[in-house]
């Protein structure tokens, strides 16, 4: 395990999830990967400024990358 806060509370380094509501609930820093490339990384509260949801941010990054997503 890796600790982000100088050993006070150990946390796993990367909790992968495609369930964005879980990310919003449990994470304080978020990285968005589109097409295998890191498109955005910041504190969740900074990313959510002026945007309704993390899903909106993700879809915006997909659009900026020039691609659609397959569902």
Give the dihedral of Cα atoms 66, 38, 15, 55; nearest 10 deg: -30
Q: What are phi and psi of 30, to 5 degrees?
A: -135, 135
67 pLDDT more than 60: yes
CA–CA distance, 62 with 12 (Å, rounded to integer): 26
Question: pLDDT per residue over 44-65, tens digit each?
Answer: 889 888 867 888 888 888 898 8
pLDDT interval class at 2 (50, 70, 90): very low
Name 47's Cβ contacts closer than 8 Å, sequence gap at least 6.
Answer: 30, 40, 54, 57
Half-sphere exposure of residue 43, counting CA atoms within 13 Å on the CB side? 4
pTM score, whole prediction: 0.64
């Amino acid at each position: 395990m890796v600790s982000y806060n100088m050993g006070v509370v150990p946390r796993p380094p990367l909790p992968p999830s495609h369930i964005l509501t879980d990310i919003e609930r449990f994470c304080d820093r978020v990285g968005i990967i589109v097409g295998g490339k890191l498109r955005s990384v910041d504190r969740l509260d900074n990313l959510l400024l002026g945007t309704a949801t993390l899903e909106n941010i993700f879809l915006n990054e997909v659009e900026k990358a020039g691609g659609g997503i397959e569902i």
